[in-house]
Amino acid sequence: MRALICQTFDQPETLTVQTQPDPTPSANEVVLEVKAAGVNYPDALMVMGQYQIKPPLPFVPGAEAAGIICAVGEGVKHLKVGQRAVAFTGLGAFASHLKADAATVMPLPDGMDFEVAATLPLAYGTTMHALVDRAQLKAGETLLVLGAAGGVGLAAVMIGKALGARVIAATGSDEKLQLAREHGADEGFNYATEDMRERLKTLTGGKGPDVIFDPVGDKFAEPAFRSIGWGGRYLVIGFAGGEIPKLPLNLPLLKGASLVGVFWGEFAKRDPAANARNLARLAGWVMDGTVKPLVSQRYSLEDGPQAMRDLLERRVTGKVVITP
């Protein structure tokens, strides 16, 4: 097998493609021939040693992949050789073959594209958990999505609409705003050129959004939270903008609002049944066209470091994949 290897915690450009022995499954494991692997912000942070989890070196980055099962270990009942499947493993996906605990692998519906499937577990799984479980977003509520053209941001736009919300997209360019509109956003603004608080006052009639989905953080968090409606829920997804913001704690008090942390990976471990229900509901939306994940670019295994660099520098819209 061929794999992208991290030998030391450093910039993505230090990763190298190496040949390794083909993996063989132990009990309750399967091996996938990888057709596509989703590239995510945490992958790059992990390579640089800046993520909350530091795997032992060396390791193969890549949290999610879709492909064909080529080997099955003893005790695996729900999966078989030749089956199309998607896996969320946290590591190992940037390779031609991926060994995975069978509990992390789900069969794919017939007809689902491998590249689309490879984008679903982390970005869309996070978004489902955030909006359904953590925010309990209701039909008719107003959802503000920051970074609305990125991987999780665009997922939030589409899933928010599927749940019946009015979606306001906030992006850093007019081109990205147009993309969010094309994927269902009802309203939007460019926070690089427009005053966030004034635009939100206008767009919500002074009430503020009910739910704020924030994968960006940095300087945008405080003005967004100051704009939230009474009893609102502010979803802390990540910090793609760079700095981890600090909020004055009188703001949740004055707004009767909640700061809600979203850590999908831990949720999926602690409550796999609830996670499976979310992903099954999501798969139904993808198959009937309610949610249409955008795969904007494909990279070879050798170009995997460039994929992570493009993600870090926010040159990416929707999701990108590595196709080994």
- Name the pLDDT band for 7 (thresholds 50, 70, 90): very high
Classify residue 276 as left (phi > 0), alpha (psi -120 to 50) or beta: alpha
Give the integer Cα–Cα distance in Å for 35 and 96.
8
Alpha-carbon distance 46 to 12, whole Å?
A: 10
pLDDT of 185 reads 97
Cα separation of 177 and 169, whole Å? Answer: 7
pLDDT at 242: 79
pLDDT confidence of residue 56:
96
Q: Residue 114 carries which side chain, given as an amino acid letter?
A: F
Residue 166 forms beta bridges with which residues?
142
Q: Ramachandran region of residue 62, left (φ > 0), alpha (ψ -120 to 50) or beta? A: left
Task: State the pLDDT at residue 110.
Answer: 87
Task: Summarize pLDDT for 102-143 with one digit per residue, the tens.
Answer: 999 999 988 899 999 999 999 999 999 999 999 999 999 999
Q: Are 295 and 317 spatial neighbours (Cβ–Cβ below 8 Å)?
A: no
- pLDDT of 209-268, one tens digit each? 999 999 999 999 999 999 999 999 999 999 888 789 999 999 999 999 999 999 998 898
Closest C-alpha among 128, 83, 133 to residue 280 = 128
Of 23, 106, 26, nearest in space to 74 by CA: 26
Confidence (pLDDT) at 17: 98
Residues 105-128 as b or e (16 or more Cβ within 10 Å = b): bbebeeebebbbbbbbbbbbbbbb
pLDDT band of 314, cuts 50, 70, 90 = confident
What's the CA gap between 272 and 266, in Å, rounded?
10
Torsion angle defined by CA atoms of residues 55, 56, 58 and 63, in that order, rounded to the nearest 10 degrees:
-20
Neighbours of 53 (CB within 10 A): 10
Provide mean pLDDT across the span 269-287: 92
Contact present, 15 and 47 (Cβ < 8 Å):
yes
Whether residue 166 contacts residue 141, with contact meaning beta carbons closer than 8 Å, is answered with yes
Say what the pLDDT of residue 272 is: 86
The pLDDT of residue 60? 98
Asked whether residue 69 carries a pLDDT value surpassing 90, the answer given is yes
Rounded to two decimals, the pTM is: 0.89
Alpha-carbon distance of 11 to 194, in angstroms, equals 33
Average pLDDT over residues 1-23: 97
pLDDT of 165 reads: 98
Is 177:149 a contact under the CB 8 Å cutoff? yes
281: pLDDT strictly greater than 90: yes
Q: Residues 97, 70: contact at Cβ < 8 Å?
A: yes
Report residue 4 CA to chain centroid gap: 21
